[in-house]
Amino acid sequence: MSASAPGRPGVARPRRPTEDPAWLRWALCLLAVVLLGMFLLLPLVAVFAEALRRGVGPAVAALGDPDALAAVRLTLLVAAIAVPVNLVGGVAAAWAIAKFDFPGKRVLTVLIELPFSVSPVISGLVYVLVFGAQGWLGPWLEERGVQVVFALPGLVLATIFVTFPFVARTLIPLMQDQGRTEEEAAATLGANGWQMFRHVTLPNIRWALLSGVLLCNARAMGEFGAVSVVSGHVRGETNTMPLHVEILYNEYQFVAAFAVAGLLALLALVTLAAKAVLERAE
Amino acid sequence: MRRRAALPGFGLALGVTWLWLGLIVLVPLSALVLRPWELGLAGVWASVTEPRVLAALRLSFGAALVAALVDLPLGLLVAWVVVRYRFPGRRVLDAAIDLPFALPTAVAGLALTALYAPNGWLGAPLAAMGVTVAFTPVGVAVALAFVGLPFVVRMVEPVLRDLGPEAEEAAAVLGATRWQAWRRVVLPALGPALVSGVALAFARAVGEYGSVIFIAGNRPMESEIAPLLIVARLEQYDYAGAAALGLAMLLLSFACLLVFAAMQRRLRRGMA
């Protein structure tokens, strides 16, 4: 916005009426940078500083620990199941909501957003209420040798719940804006449903889709509260990376805890960078 | 001819959507609504009005409100600076705003604890000034303000961008000072967006768990948040009690969101 760009040095020009005085502009910018730096960036720096407190060696050793590796594997496995489920569900929901009018559309839109307004702990709790030892289906499943809570299925379900709206909510406004004329043209020209989706819809939504999947994945790998409730905290078996961080921290293994936390922080940084790139691609 | 017939896949898409929603969200959430009543009405009331529960609810909702109100001016400042000014580091600042969204909550909790502990980078100078942050309700509010900040910034930013300088120009032409124009033209236009940002930050903060439990100290009656009590009840296999508390939290936060929505409607009407 050229109206508020700082003036060229040495060139006196009258200040426009909507332009703030230079001292105010710089003071506000400085204040924002200092406050955000202390409030948002310093915690990030602290993670890496604590992880490397005794040098690189102990931090790397902590990441090579068998329990840590098991936690990494479990986190990747959970995300590899949860993210595709929400990808398919999210695309289906966006297709129905953005391209068609039907009774109950508004209710459906609100319900899809619901998991975001539920506490992570409650997101885990609801699965314990259904599948736990005293849950609705728990005893019946146990007789058949199926364990959901305190095992992989519970972790996956809780993760799907907390990451449920990401893909749908990035796609719906975009696909609504795009309307359905392009798809209708493809249909008129004889494309079948899959051809239409593959050649018309998908190219239009690919960046938003990728960005939704990225955010969904970051949350899936970093989720703590919901999986904490349904995990049984069995080391090397049902601990995802964030849960492993908590155990290490509670055992006063601070360097190891912050090393694993640093790995998760790197994931967050990569996600933010990729999101910035995608936003420019759009 | 019906318009709907033009595009295929409606039945399939809607079917998949309801199946996905029903199995993952609706059936499990119905357990939260139905199971507390195993205790009976009186039992549910007793279980959510225990002194320890009331203290935890007060802390969760009180600290969430304080945090959201702290995020209000901070978020407004950041949104204003990012939209209106050009300065070195603006891109980095803009990207950093989303950090609390992307950073796993447990990592944020650990980092804030290290930072604000009495021997931490920020905790030590604050302790010298007589302010204890970590392991007190203040620490809870700090963690909640951290996770809530992006909500305020990201709600205000697009409105501020759309507003443009024209309205302020008009005010200046009519003889308003810069401060008057800001106070009487810009701020009212941002009102509804500010309220929704604060409401979102509040809603997120009320249920927050991972970023809080490390810095809170978790002392009963003092620095114990409500979600932690749900976890404690589950660990004692008190499913109905945990569900009762969960349902109470959910209803309370919906009630708060209704209040925010009413505030927003009043601000909108004031603008028209």
Query: Residue A22: its pLDDT value, please?
Result: 83
Tokens representing residue B246 in the block: 């969960």
CA of B70 vs chain A CAs: smallest distance (Å)? 12
Asked if B264 contacts B195 with a C-beta cutoff of 8 angstroms, the reply is yes
What is the C-alpha separation between B78 and A233, in angstroms, rounded? 40
* Alpha carbon separation from A167 to A83, A208, A264 (Å, rounded): 9, 8, 21
Structure confidence by residue, pLDDT tens digits, B45-99: 999 999 999 999 999 999 999 999 999 999 999 999 999 888 888 888 888 899 9
* Degrees to nearest 5, angle at CA A189 with A185 and A193: 80
* Alpha carbon separation from A34 to A27, A116, A126, A266, B124 (Å, rounded): 10, 31, 42, 23, 18
Nearest Cα to Cα of residue B31 among A127, A121, A226, A158: A127
Task: Kindly give the interhelix angle for A241-250 and B105-116, rounded to the nearest 10 degrees.
Answer: 30
Quick check: A261 and B110 CB within 8 A?
Answer: yes
Confidence band (pLDDT; 50, 70, 90) for A1? very low
CA of B51 vs chain A CAs: smallest distance (Å)? 21
Tokens representing residue B212 in the block: 């809080």
- Report the complex ipTM: 0.90
Residues 6+ apart with CB under 8 A from B271: B188, B189, B191, B192
Confidence band (pLDDT; 50, 70, 90) for B206? very high
Confidence band (pLDDT; 50, 70, 90) for B201? very high
Q: Name the more confident of B247 and A25.
A: B247
**Cα A159 to chain center, whole Å?**
10
Residue A188 half-sphere exposure, CB side, CA atoms within 13 Å?
Answer: 7
Alpha helix stretches (DSSP H) within chain B: 10-21, 27-34, 40-48, 51-84, 90-96, 99-102, 105-116, 123-128, 137-163, 166-173, 178-181, 187-207, 210-216, 226-235, 239-271
- For A:1-20, CB contacts with B below 8 A are 1, 3-6, 17-18, 20
What is the C-alpha separation between B164 and A19, in angstroms, rounded? 12
**Cα B232 to chain center, whole Å?**
23
What is the C-alpha separation between B264 and B77, in angstroms, rounded? 20
Confidence band (pLDDT; 50, 70, 90) for A228? very high
- For A:74-113, CB contacts with B below 8 A are 85, 88-89, 92-93, 95-97, 99-102, 108, 111-112
* Alpha carbon separation from B223 to B67, B214, B226 (Å, rounded): 15, 11, 10
What is the C-alpha separation between B17 and A210, in angstroms, rounded? 20
Residues 6+ apart with CB under 8 A from A105: A97
* SS3 state of residue B224: coil
What is the C-alpha separation between A35 and A260, in angstroms, rounded? 27
